[in-house]
Structure 1
Amino acid sequence: MQQLVFIILALFLNHLVNAQQQGVTIEVVINNIENEEGQMVIGLYNSKANWLKKVHKVTFGQIVDGKSTVAFKNVPNGIYAVSVFHDEDNDGELDTFLGIPTEDTGSSNNAPARFGPPKWQDAKFELKGESVKQIIKL
């Protein structure tokens, strides 16, 4: 009987460890895209120090009917923020004029970009065991 209880407990703990290691999904939906030229570039950031400087993960999204949807899978729990831009000319870079973006941008929580880039404090969100969906309007 003790062996059976031990085996069940070991299987349960193994399941918990595997679930924590796999992480969860951050789904990013970008709306209000003006045209279908180029692609969306979506960056996931994992710290205030790296915000808009050093991307943690990046992915690219196709634009269909003014919308793009991507997912970051197997992301561990933590604090994150997302930044997106419409790379209309497909050069992989955010085009600017005098430091101001000429391609549409957005960020998680639809954090405002007033007099400069959006702030980490406004864009961050917590991932804790459940998948998250961020809807960003350009």
Structure 2
Amino acid sequence: MRLLRGLGLGLALVAGLTAAAPAGQPQALGMVLEGLRSTRGQILVCVTRSADHFPDCTKDPDKRHFAVAARSGAIPLGLVAPGDYAIAIVHDENGNGKLDTFAGIPREGVGFSRNPVLRFGAPSFRSAGFPVAGAPVEQAIRLKYFL
């Protein structure tokens, strides 16, 4: 019984360390990449709250737009204010800082939060959007390669 009480206390302490910030406070945002074809190049990341600037958020004044090393696994994206967000990523394999296409078809991998079905063109903000409020959020993003 003493062991169980001690275990319960230990679990409570661990839970306290990973507990969410109070509602209205910035929360941790991260993503986990799945299906990366290679570790060449870089991952271009766009995190936005604006449907008008999705999936290319380069002109969004409130964006998070950056590049990280191409690797599978968890990638922290920092703290974000509560709200609705969408993430778009490009596996820029040749490192030229943009999505390369052939006849409008991506030559490099692309991925979006919530992994919406990709048909002709990028998904809408609504289909890729997710809320951030009251707890850390991690999006598992599956890369899609067309060529």
Deviations 1:2-41 (A, max 9, x none): xxxxxxxxxxxxxxxx966751111111111111111111
Preserved CA contact (<8 Å) 1:41 1:84: yes
How far apart are the structure 1 equivalents of 2:25 and 2:92?
31
What is the Cα-based RMSD across aligned positions, in Å? 1.9
1:63 counterpart residue number: 70
Q: Does 1:90 align with 2:95?
A: yes
Preserved CA contact (<8 Å) 1:40 1:68: no
Structure 2: which amino acid aligns with 1:79? D
Structure 2, unmatched stretches of 5+, are 1-20
Bigger CA radius of gyration: 1
Preserved CA contact (<8 Å) 1:22 1:74: no
Deviations 1:79-133 (A, max 9, x none): 1000011010011111111222110101000012201111212100011121101
Q: Secondary structure at the match of 1:110?
A: coil
1:54 Cα shift?
Answer: 2.5
Q: Does 1:32 align with 2:35?
A: yes
Structure 2: which amino acid aligns with 1:38? G
**TM-score (ref. length: structure 1):** 0.77
**TM-score (ref. length: structure 2):** 0.73
Preserved CA contact (<8 Å) 2:114 2:139: yes
Aligned-residue identity in percent: 29
Number of aligned positions between the proteins: 119
Structure 1: which amino acid aligns with 2:35? N
Q: Does 1:54 align with 2:57?
A: yes
How far apart are the structure 1 equivalents of 2:102 and 2:76?
30
Q: Which runs of 4+ in 1 moved over 6 A?
A: none
How far apart are the structure 2 equivalents of 1:46 and 1:71?
17
Q: Does 1:44 align with 2:47?
A: yes
